[in-house]
Every structure is written in structure tokens, then in C-alpha cells.
Structure 1
Amino acid sequence: MGYRVAASTVWKILNQAGVDPAPRRSGPTWKQFLSTQAHTILACDFFTVDTVFLKRIYVLFFVEIASRQVHVVGVTAHPTGAWVAQQARNLLMDLGQRAARLRFLLHDRDTKFTAVFDAVFTAAGIQVIKTPPQAPRANAFVERWVGTIRRECTDRMLIVGERHLAAVLDEYVAHYNGHRPHRSLDQQPPNPPPQVADLNAAGSSDAQSSVA
């Protein structure tokens, strides 16, 4: 009849009528996509911390989906587009050759993720995927990490300012990446420290062999 109807209106009508969404007919589900492409996916987001002086500080971080390794790349009270884009460049430089293995960047539709920010990754051959509006579960790995750091760190401390928060996050991220066990990694940390040989044990075994 020529009337344009919004998708949300159609969903509401079908939902009230008890009609379920049509099944997916082709292609992998979102869960299957994340599982098969995990080693090529980088996800990012912001979270905020309020200081004792009632100043809100924004923290930009990235998570490597396959290893769960976290990179806190910047802390600021004023996350401008230029600042966010520079943090993206810094991350790619820090990753070095590892950045060549990445194919996808996953983030939400926050306006702080500007077109310049996305262009930094597309120039490196990384496709930017934006999650649907108001769908935090589509980027569940970063949401889970925000909950973890709040419970284990920032909610237990009084933060004075940006430098204090940056120092606290550096210590926590080093612990999280290098020592904190992760259930999905068979109770191993994302980036375990290298194994150090026990020289005393080796020396005693050599001595026993020589005696024998």
C-alpha cells in the first residue's frame, strides 16, 4: 500500500503474534564465526573509572579473542577522535608482526570509535565489524573483562587520577596476562611466563646418573 514500516515495528507485531524469527538458512552463526576465526579477531571497548575527586576517566583496551590477552592502550579524561586513533596506531606498532595475523576488529557503535580510528585498521588489512545496537552480548569477551577488572581491581580501590589509574592497570594487566588462570585456557594465563629449568634438580639427577 506504499506505507514504509520500520523493522522494529514488524518485529513487535510478529512477537505479539507469537511468530518466532525465521531460522538462519545459510552461513555460520555468530558463535560459530567467533570460534572458527578467534585467532584472527581483535575486540576493543571503553570502560570508565570515577576518581575520588568525581572525575570520570576513560580506559581504552583491546582483547585478543584466541589467547584472551588484554592490551590497555590508553587512559584519559578526554577521549577525542584524534586521541583514540593515535592509540590504535600505537597498538599496531606494539603488536609488530602479530598484527599481520589479524583479520577482524570487533567494536560497538560508540561515537568515540571514529572513521579515522577504523581507517587505521583497514589500512593494515583488518576488517572492522560493528556489533548491532544495544547488543553487548555480541562483544561478550570485552564485556566479561570489564566485569572482571571491576570486581578484582578498580571497585576495590580509590583512584586519585589518571597517572594513578594507569599504574594500577599496568600492574593488573601484567597479572592477568601472565599469572591469572583462565578457565577457557585450561587454567593457564593468556601469556604465561617462560618455563625456567630447575638447575638444582638437573644437577642432582646428573650426579645420580654419574654415581650409577
Structure 2
Amino acid sequence: MHGELHRLGHKVSAATARRVLHAAGISPAPRRHPARHEWAAFLKTQTSGSLATDFFHIDTIALRRLYVLFVTGVRTRTVHILGVTAHPTAAWATQQARQLLWQLGNRAADFTHFVRDRDAKFTYALDAVFASEGVAMAKIPPRSPNCNPYAERFIPSVRKECTDGLLILDRGHAEKILHDHARHFNGHRPHHGRNQLAPHDDPNITPCPLPGSNAAKPSPA
């Protein structure tokens, strides 16, 4: 609520949003467990050049489980849906990594670290793909998903805002709706960590100004 109003050029404090939610009987979002101190410091210092990845699963109406591999940019929160498969393997994950770097092109040089967990599907072959572009691998401690908070935060968001409200037919259907959601997520959805801007928004321009609003003009540099 706060983010959508902000995108329209309305200045509404977070406290006002909390009061409205409280009056409607909606509890605030639960607080997440803090990451270990050393990893919190690492992520803070490497934010501008980090990518983070993880898998999550969804089930089709035929009760077939599918696995989704995604990557998110830590600084911009831009999300990339790399692929959907019923049989995730190390070779498949490595091929998706190659595809990502191909899609990024020259932008791959902006990244210095790739944050991942210790899933067996993330092998040295995948690490080598990123190392060839000068991107160092940063493996989180064992059994510590809270040390990969940016990727972990996307998973409940995509489930709540997309997959949990749909009947998914098959892998092709899952890929389509997830890519559609990624376009919405990157181009419109406000993010608290980006001052209620979407990943692709210009921070100097109100994304959706009201007609006749002064917010339609770029803010001074």
C-alpha cells in the first residue's frame, strides 16, 4: 500500500500505513532472523556487485513437482527466472548459468560476487562459468538460509503474489507465468529496500505520477 502510493507521487509515512493495516486487523509482516554478523557485513559491502541465487519448487494440478532456478541482483532487486524443470541436475544448472551470462552481456562485468548455498547442483563447473567472467563464488555457511536473504526473500513473494493463486498446468505454463511475473516484479512492483521503487525505475523520477502532478517532473540532480 505504501509503495503503490509512493509510485503515484503521494507522500504517505510508513506509520500511517501501519495504522491502516492495524485498523483492518492485518498484522505486520514477521521479522526475519538476522544473518550472521560477518555475512551481514559482507553483503552490505558487496551489495553493488552481487548476484544471489536459489531454487524453489511449485506443484502442477497433476501433482507434478517442478523446480525453478532464479537469480536476483542484490543492489537493484532485479530478478531473472533462469529455468523451470522437473529434474534439476548439476549440468542443467550450469547451462542456465551460461545462459544468464550470455543475456547479461557486457553488464556481467558489473558483478563481482555470486552468492549461493551448498546445494549439490551448484558444482565447480557452475563456479567456473562465473569465474571466467571474474565473478567470485560466495558460498553461505551450511544450513544457513538466512545468510542468503535477498534470494530467500523473493521466494515467499513469488509464491504469495503469483504461483499460490494459480492452477499450473505444466512446465511451459509455469515458465510463462513466472516470466510474466518477473517483468511485473522488475518493472512495477515497489521494493522497500529501494525506497519503494521497482528495480528498473529511475530513482530521480516518480514512476506513475498523477495527471498535473509536479511529481511528473524529474527531481533536480
TM-score, length-normalised on structure 2? 0.73
Equivalent pairs: percent with the same residue? 46
Ranges of 4+ aligned residues in structure 1 off by more than 3 Å: 193-196
Which of residues 39, 56, 59 in structure 1 aligns to 2:68?
A: 59
Partner in structure 2 of residue 71 of structure 1: 80
**Per-residue displacement from partner, 1:147-201 (whole Å, max 9, x unpaired)?**
10011111111111000000100111000000001111111100128979x9xx8
1:29 correspondence with 2:38: yes
1:155 correspondence with 2:185: no
Q: Given that residues 115 and 140 in structure 2 are in contact (C-alpha distance below 8 angstroms), is that contact kept between their aligned partners in structure 1?
A: yes
Paired residues for 1:159-170 under 5 Å: 159-170=168-179
CA distance in 2, matches of 1:190, 1:152: 17
1:123 correspondence with 2:132: yes
1:44 correspondence with 2:59: no
CA pair 66-193 structure 1, distance change in 2 beyond 3 A: closer
CA distance in 2, matches of 1:76, 1:137: 25
**Per-residue displacement from partner, 1:42-92 (whole Å, max 9, x unpaired)?**
100000011111111110000100000000011111112221111100100
Which of residues 70, 91, 104 in structure 1 aligns to 2:100?
A: 91
Partner in structure 1 of residue 15 of structure 2: none
Q: Given that residues 178 and 193 in structure 1 are in contact (C-alpha distance below 8 angstroms), is that contact kept between their aligned partners in structure 2?
A: no
Q: Given that residues 41 and 104 in structure 1 are in contact (C-alpha distance below 8 angstroms), is that contact kept between their aligned partners in structure 2?
A: yes
Letter paired with 1:97: N
The secondary structure found in structure 2 opposite 1:109 is coil
The secondary structure found in structure 2 opposite 1:85 is helix
CA distance in 2, matches of 1:29, 1:112: 25
Paired residues for 1:173-212 under 5 Å: 173-192=182-201
Letter paired with 1:141: Y
Letter paired with 1:184: G
Q: CA RMSD in A?
A: 2.2
* Higher CA-based Rg: 1
The secondary structure found in structure 1 opposite 2:87 is coil
CA pair 80-133 structure 1, distance change in 2 beyond 3 A: same
Q: Point out which structure has higher relative CO (alpha carbons under 8 A, 6+ apart).
A: 2
Q: Given that residues 51 and 72 in structure 2 are in contact (C-alpha distance below 8 angstroms), is that contact kept between their aligned partners in structure 1?
A: yes
Partner in structure 2 of residue 112 of structure 1: 121
Task: Give the C-alpha shift of residue 122 in structure 1.
Answer: 1.2
Letter paired with 1:135: S
Letter paired with 1:107: R
Unaligned runs of 5+ in 1: 1-23, 202-212
Q: Given that residues 52 and 73 in structure 2 are in contact (C-alpha distance below 8 angstroms), is that contact kept between their aligned partners in structure 1?
A: yes
The secondary structure found in structure 2 opposite 1:63 is strand
Partner in structure 2 of residue 210 of structure 1: none
Letter paired with 1:85: T
Which of residues 142, 151, 166 in structure 2 aligns to 1:142?
A: 151
The secondary structure found in structure 2 opposite 1:66 is coil
CA distance in 1, matches of 2:173, 2:182: 14
Partner in structure 1 of residue 22 of structure 2: none
Q: Given that residues 104 and 128 in structure 1 are in contact (C-alpha distance below 8 angstroms), is that contact kept between their aligned partners in structure 2?
A: yes
